[in-house]
Amino acid sequence: MTSGIGAAARDAAVRPQDDLFGHVNGRWLAETTIPDDRAVHGQFELLRDGAEIDLRVIVEEAAAGNAPAGSPARKVGDLYASFLDEQRADQLGVRPIAADLAAIAAVGGTGDLLRLMGRLQRQGVGGAVGLSVNTDKGDSSRYVVYLSQSGLGLPDESYYREEVFAGIRAAYVEHVAVMLALAGVADDADDAAVGTVAGRIMALETRLAAGHWDVVRNRDAVATYTLVDRAGWVHLSPGVDWCERLTCLATPDGSVDEVVVRQPGFLTAFAAALRDFDLADWKY
């Protein structure tokens, strides 16, 4: 009977009692090259790649099959076919999200904005503050709501401040401008006092990024666990009426009596940005 543990990566020249990691992974480290299109490589990446290939086979079989209408296989196949229908997507334009764009345009104050953030989050649209549910790291017998920093279009906060990413920042602003044009959003390029819409979006994201924790601090299991009650949550973000957002998010009674705030300082930074930036910038 085989153990199921791969032995090809082992380095027999290294004794496990001297260096267990080197013994188990030595040959793999010496012989493996990170692909040019990736920053990291390993078994988790290989598992993900394999899962994507398997998933593609499943959805292509569903799309090619003739499953009964309304069945799970038919729904998967129809969704995949619609995703590949570029001509239909071009014809539709922004019509599928017209109601959401109208709701954004109708926002008249921060209360409206927070309510809309809650409603959109129920649809899977992220906002400045992420909300998720997972096992409580301080009490594994229960689940708890986690609040996390969010609101950035670039990978993390370093892209907004480090000089090495200056070219990416410039390209990102150009990309945002193109997306706005495709959505039919007018630019303010002729108004030097206001600045372009894309530039204002970048300024807001840069402000939010300044309140983000960096990737190293985010790996600190202790620092990223701050359990607070509703009063403590509100205290971290003065002036933000979270009830507005939670009403439209439709959280069950008692589900946010306690939450884990992963980056407490970001909630404070978010509250400050909500006060300091024009409502129009948030709507964009």
The token pair at 283 is 């709507």
What confidence score (pLDDT) does residue 256 get?
Answer: 85
Q: Which of 117, 97, 83 is nearest to 184 (CA)?
A: 97
The 10 Å CB-count burial string (b at 16+, else e) for 94-106 is eeeeeeeeeebee
Longest dimension (CA), the chain: 75
Burial of 118 (0-12, 13-18, 19+ CB in 10 A): buried
Whether the Cβ atoms of residue 262 and residue 147 lie closer than 8 Å to each other: yes
Who's near 32: CB < 8 A, 6+ residues apart?
A: 41
pTM listed for this prediction: 0.80
Three-class DSSP category at 145: strand
What confidence score (pLDDT) does residue 45 get?
Answer: 93
Who's near 173: CB < 8 A, 6+ residues apart?
A: 196, 198, 199, 202
The token pair at 108 is 């008249």
What confidence score (pLDDT) does residue 1 get?
Answer: 59
**Long-range own/partner contacts, residues 66-70 (CB < 8 A, 24 or more apart):** none
Whether the Cβ atoms of residue 120 and residue 96 lie closer than 8 Å to each other: no
Write out pLDDT tens, residues 14-48: 999 999 999 999 999 999 999 999 888 988 999 99
Structural domain spans, the chain = 33-92, 96-154+206-283
> Residue 139 CA to chain centroid, in angstroms?
25
Write out pLDDT tens, residues 204-237: 999 999 999 999 999 999 999 999 998 888 899 9
Could you give the CA distance from residue 105 to residue 108 in angstroms, rounded to a whole number? 8
Spans of the chain below 50 pLDDT: 193
What confidence score (pLDDT) does residue 271 get?
Answer: 95
Three-class DSSP category at 226: strand
Whether the Cβ atoms of residue 19 and residue 40 lie closer than 8 Å to each other: no
What is the second-level CATH architecture of the domain 96-154+206-283? Orthogonal Bundle (1.10)
Three-class DSSP category at 90: helix
